Amino acid sequence: MQEKYLKLKGLLAEAFDLDRATAVLGWDQQTYMPPKGAVDRGEQLATLSSLSHKISTSPEIGELLEDLVPWAQTLDQDSIEACLIRRIKRDYDKQIRVPSEFVAEFARVTTIGQEAWVKARTDSNFASFQPHLEKIIAMRRDYSDFFKPFDHIYDPQLDDFEPGLKTTEVQAIFDALRPQQIELLQAIAARPQVRDDFLHLNYPDKQQWDFGVEVVTRFGYDWEAGRQDRTAHPFSTTFSINDVRITTRVLEDLVTSSMFSTMHESGHAMYEQGVDPSLARTIIQDGASMAVHESQSRMWENLVGRSRPFWKFFYHRLQEYFPTQLGNVDMETFYKAVNKVTPSLIRVESDEATYNMHIMLRMELEIAMMEGSLQVKDLPGAWNERMRKYLGITPPNDRQGVLQDVHWSGGMIGYFPTYALGNLVSAQLWEVINKDLPDLEAQIERGEFSALLGWLRMNVHRHGAKYEPQVLVERITGSKIDPQPYVKYLRRKYSDIYGL
Amino acid sequence: MQEKYLKLKGLLAEAFDLDRATAVLGWDQQTYMPPKGAVDRGEQLATLSSLSHKISTSPEIGELLEDLVPWAQTLDQDSIEACLIRRIKRDYDKQIRVPSEFVAEFARVTTIGQEAWVKARTDSNFASFQPHLEKIIAMRRDYSDFFKPFDHIYDPQLDDFEPGLKTTEVQAIFDALRPQQIELLQAIAARPQVRDDFLHLNYPDKQQWDFGVEVVTRFGYDWEAGRQDRTAHPFSTTFSINDVRITTRVLEDLVTSSMFSTMHESGHAMYEQGVDPSLARTIIQDGASMAVHESQSRMWENLVGRSRPFWKFFYHRLQEYFPTQLGNVDMETFYKAVNKVTPSLIRVESDEATYNMHIMLRMELEIAMMEGSLQVKDLPGAWNERMRKYLGITPPNDRQGVLQDVHWSGGMIGYFPTYALGNLVSAQLWEVINKDLPDLEAQIERGEFSALLGWLRMNVHRHGAKYEPQVLVERITGSKIDPQPYVKYLRRKYSDIYGL
């Protein structure tokens, strides 16, 4: 049986290597590829994906699983073998339910859809994107149908990004969260605003870059197993446990953009650098889910990077990088500025207090479209109505409203919730960490992060994708994903900043 | 039949894409990969190669060829279809003769061999490398045996790099070349040496980089379909016709190093950028052979870049980049310095007049080892003896002698001759070009290279690997590879510089 296990592992390691090669080609495309290279790169990426898919859905895998699944059930359920076979079985069963013609057709539809979205967004004209989104939603409904019976048509969508998570669970979480966030936002809106004008002076590129590097080096990002490059949109990408890269974009008129995105991406990257090497070249050499991944990036960006202890240590360094811009701004003023709450039209520019509202809005609309209770043609109206209800503002056009995100045009339905869930998980973990490391705040004030990173390595990172997200969160915190720690965290933080 | 042809093309396009992905991963490894990434990168490269090999040696290819080869013989023999099928048939027949166990074992032996060579070279101790080279030579002899009957045991080695070229042909070429080169070298040695001390001042990195970029931009290297990065050893690499990259290394105490290597690599790269797009994603989207490739790089580096007309245009620009270093050096003095002839121990540092001697020495030793007339244990002695005979110098140790090149440790036997053949072909082409473009020198003096590049595109580049090297050279010049134009070129050039 051991031999069959190694056979299965070896076959899928090839698919894994192809996927990592795809990641390298994708990274190169975003960082260094010359402009004319795009078309052929597309062919190369398509070939690698199709070969990987062919391997991981081959009948040979199915035959090996027939013997290995019962065997794995006799093992320690926390063993790598049991966890890996469970995950392979899960992915295999999902993949073979989806006909390859559907996969090819959906790739075609979303490629065209993304082009249409780019144009529609430029023209701020939802109508031109509408037929494409209608087709995409129809195909996502077909996709869900491959997984019948389901409790909810949105379940198979969600499950692609959050293994095992159900629509009713997420709805319950967000139903508990929504009124509390709205209440907090209204309380903040009633208070005088903090100033942040000095964040928008001219901050030269090189110093911004160097400060970001200094911060994440202290965090513990391993530069021997990673690097940072420039891209239009920051991301992190994994070529192996020993090569996890981050990218950033520096805006010279906004000092906070690159700084926090570097911390954010380093959070993703340290997660992947910290996976147990015995999981290497398997599909569980990965984060547990998008939400758990986001819990790591948001923790380093917000719970650490936007905290007062962090700035007690780092602010004088930042002032040294930017003496003319920040020499006369005291730390408290700066701290409040980087935590300013403003309802904004654009999700990616929004602050910790409003971010989840953008997410809930999107998820509700996704579910309504999947259920059929909302027609695509009515989406812009529904969007604007919710923006008014949740954030009190109305998009002046589709570009700054319903057309702002790439996700739907790329066929990603069920992805948005993971951002908000990540915020919630980050605060849940933070409560446990602070119990386990009672002097964490003092450590951060001294610029020490090794105990924090060590805790995350031990409790989160090393497990890779051995466990489903709810299982992992419950193992660590004693409960499944729960919005209360995040709400408590926001209340405490903003009560202090805004004097609620 | 057209359908079968497209089927064959489609199958091999997948292998081709895998090979281009391999090139991207290799490029990344040399340019940006963090140090810890090497081991996993090795696995990924091995997987991509093995999948590509599996596709291109699959029985399906053989079956398709059985029908397509006779069909191709009915077509215009210059058509893409005929040329492509001829080349696929050739490669397929070669590949299936070599058992995959041999390929795997040879990969293992050369991986270990390269490690042993690095150590032996560091220690300057041939004895520790000897058993590895013995094994490699024995396996190269086995490799040749797969291609029995052959005229010469070295033929199958050579054929891997120069399709269709025979050992006797190369020996005849070099037998004609050798005495003439030795005679020229002796005449030069009898003359007063030129000065080049000013090449070794401090030349800052950035200006060197910028000058190299300025030169190859004028040559016509397409930066929209390429880029330059830094590596320990310069190379060029092709991801597609629209993405052909070069690399360089800047030495601040030797202004000529990066400058000429950038010209050299741009020559390789412009070749691949100029291949007819209808050959894209086939194995004939490639240079005709290593020698033809080298004819392009050496032409831009030497026949153009080390010529007086070139410096008539570029020298004042170089002086503007380096006013303190070169302000008091006149163009003639500089021109002579970059053409200084000195017998040196190291091939890669040698000049145009001595370079081929290094190559002939290596090829003669390779042939002798393959024939069995030279034992590996006697190699260092044979090396040093030939160095004395050809260049009048004796290596003080193995590191600067027999251990200087990586090729043999990597299993590359038959590769060295291509460097010298490239020099010869470059001069043969140059004669024809100067007949077709009688005012080429004047154009170069004005910094105009578009007619030259246009000629190369039309006569060499666009054909890709449609023709075997000897066929291509004969199509263009009316004769097969011939050493006389190169000897004439060297004589004229050095008679002028050294006043012979």
Q: Do B278 and B242 contact (CB within 8 A), yes or no?
A: no
pLDDT for res A458: 98
Instruction: Determine the residue among B24, B223, B278 to mutate to test chain A binding: the one whose Cβ has the most chain A Cβ atoms within 10 Å.
Output: B24
DSSP structural state of residue A193: P
> What is the least distance, in Å, from the CA of A325 to any CA of chain B?
30
Q: Do B487 and B180 contact (CB within 8 A), yes or no?
A: yes
Q: Do B151 and B458 contact (CB within 8 A), yes or no?
A: no
SS3 B238: strand
Do A35 and B240 make contact, defined as CB atoms within 8 angstroms?
no
How far apart (Å, rounded) are the C-alpha atoms in residues B147 and B194?
50
- Convert the pLDDT of each residue in A278-293 to its tens digit: 999 999 999 999 999 9
Q: Give the count of beta carbons closer than 10 Å to the beta carbon of residue B450.
A: 12
Q: Which residue, B327, B381, B64, B342, is CA-closest to B196?
A: B342
* Tokens coding A467: 């466990």
pLDDT for res B104: 85
Of all residues in chain A, the one with the smallest CA distance to B281 is A40
Q: Which residue, A194, A153, A292, is CA-closest to A494?
A: A194
Does the pLDDT value for residue B111 go beyond 90? no
Q: Do A365 and A379 contact (CB within 8 A), yes or no?
A: yes
Of all residues in chain A, the one with the smallest CA distance to B42 is A17
pLDDT for res B255: 97
* Tokens coding A401: 């409203």
Q: How many CB pairs under 8 A join A and B?
A: 119
Q: Give the count of beta carbons closer than 10 Å to the beta carbon of residue B233.
A: 11
Q: Across the interface, which of B17, B24, B280 has its CB nearest the CB of A47? A: B17
Do A224 and B44 make contact, defined as CB atoms within 8 angstroms?
no
How far apart (Å, rounded) are the C-alpha atoms in residues A294 and A303?
12
Q: Nearest-5° angle of CA B309, CA B301, CA B405?
A: 150
Q: Do B261 and B213 contact (CB within 8 A), yes or no?
A: no
Do B34 and A223 make contact, defined as CB atoms within 8 angstroms?
yes
What's the residue count for chain B? 500
Q: Name the burial class of residue B484, with classes exposed (0-12), middle (13-18) and buried (19+) by CB atoms within 10 angstroms of its CB.
A: middle
Asked if A301 is an active-site residue, the reply is no
SS3 B230: strand
Do A229 and B281 make contact, defined as CB atoms within 8 angstroms?
no
Q: What is the DSSP string of B110-157?
A: HHHHHHHHHHHHHHT-HHHHHHHHHHHHHHHHHHHHTT-S-SSTTHHH
Partners of residue B247 on adjacent β-strands: B229
* Tokens coding B179: 């005495």
- Span B125-134, mean pLDDT? 97
The one-letter amino acid at A251: L
The one-letter amino acid at A267: G
Do B47 and A18 make contact, defined as CB atoms within 8 angstroms?
yes
Q: Give the CA distances from residue B233 to residues A265, B251, B261, in Å, rounded to whole numbers and listed in that order.
A: 32, 12, 10
Q: In this prediction, does ipTM exceed 0.85?
A: yes
CB < 8 Å to B241, chain A: 40
Q: Nearest-5° angle of CA A385, CA A387, CA A389?
A: 70
Q: Across the interface, which of A36, A39, A44 has its CB nearest the CB of B20? A: A44
Q: Name the burial class of residue A30, with classes exposed (0-12), middle (13-18) and buried (19+) by CB atoms within 10 angstroms of its CB.
A: middle
Q: Which residue, B309, B317, B315, B294, is CA-closest to B419?
A: B294
Of all residues in chain A, the one with the smallest CA distance to B243 is A37
Per-residue pLDDT of chain A (500 residues; tens, 9 = 90+): 899 999 999 999 999 999 999 999 999 999 999 999 988 999 999 999 999 999 999 999 999 999 999 999 999 999 999 999 999 999 999 999 999 889 889 988 998 999 899 999 999 999 999 999 999 999 999 999 999 999 999 999 999 999 999 999 999 999 999 999 999 999 999 999 999 999 999 999 999 999 999 999 999 999 999 999 999 899 999 999 999 999 999 999 999 999 999 999 999 999 999 999 999 999 999 999 999 999 999 999 999 999 999 999 999 999 999 999 999 999 999 999 999 999 999 998 899 999 999 999 999 999 999 999 999 999 999 999 999 999 999 999 999 999 999 999 999 999 999 999 999 999 999 999 999 999 999 999 999 999 999 999 999 999 999 999 999 999 999 999 999 999 999 999 999 999 99
pLDDT for res B242: 97
- Convert the pLDDT of each residue in B429-444 to its tens digit: 999 999 999 999 999 9
Q: Which letter, b or e, does each residue of A338-357 get, where b requires 16 or more Cβ atoms within 10 Å of its Cβ? A: bbbbbbbbebeebbbbbbbb
pLDDT for res B363: 97
Peptide bond into A149 cis (omega under 30): yes
Map tokens 């291949």 to a residue: B275
pLDDT for res A349: 87
Beta strands per DSSP E along A214-329: 228-230, 236-240, 243-248
Q: Do A434 and A426 contact (CB within 8 A), yes or no?
A: no
SS3 A195: coil
Torsion angle defined by CA atoms of residues B207, B209, B212 and B215, in that order, rounded to the nearest 10 degrees: -60
- Span B122-135, mean pLDDT? 96
Mean pLDDT, rounded, of chain B:
96
pLDDT confidence bin for B199, thresholds 50/70/90: very high
How far apart (Å, rounded) are the C-alpha atoms in residues B129 and B405?
13
State how far Cα B237 lies from the chain centre. 12
For a pLDDT cut of 70, what percent of chain B falls above it? 100
pLDDT for res A100: 86
pLDDT for res B318: 98
- Convert the pLDDT of each residue in A309-320 to its tens digit: 999 999 999 999
* Secondary structure of B298-339 in HEC code, one letter for each residue: HHHHHHHCCCHHHHHHHHHHHHHHCHHHHCCCCHHHHHHHCC
pLDDT confidence bin for B155, thresholds 50/70/90: very high
How far apart (Å, rounded) are the C-alpha atoms in residues A499 and A341?
13
Q: Give the CA distances from residue B355 to residues A419, B358, B419, B420, B500, in Å, rounded to whole numbers and listed in that order.
A: 62, 5, 9, 8, 20
Do B40 and A14 make contact, defined as CB atoms within 8 angstroms?
no
* Tokens coding B391: 């260049």
Non-local CB neighbours of A143 within 8 Å, separated by 6+ positions: A98, A102, A106, A156, A157
* Tokens coding A206: 């090189």
Does the pLDDT value for residue B319 go beyond 90? yes
CB < 8 Å to A47, chain B: 13-14, 17-18, 21
Do A44 and B14 make contact, defined as CB atoms within 8 angstroms?
no
DSSP structural state of residue B164: T
Enumerate chain B positions whose Cβ falls within 8 A of a Cβ in A: 13-14, 17-18, 20-21, 24-25, 28, 32-37, 39-41, 43-44, 47-48, 51, 222-227, 229, 239-243, 245, 280-281
Query: Per the residue annotation, which of A63, A81, A224, A265 is the catalytic one?
Result: A265
Q: Name the burial class of residue A259, with classes exposed (0-12), middle (13-18) and buried (19+) by CB atoms within 10 angstroms of its CB.
A: buried
pLDDT confidence bin for B349, thresholds 50/70/90: confident
pLDDT confidence bin for B100, thresholds 50/70/90: confident
How far apart (Å, rounded) are the C-alpha atoms in residues B29 and A311?
37
CB < 8 Å to B242, chain A: 34, 36-37, 39-40
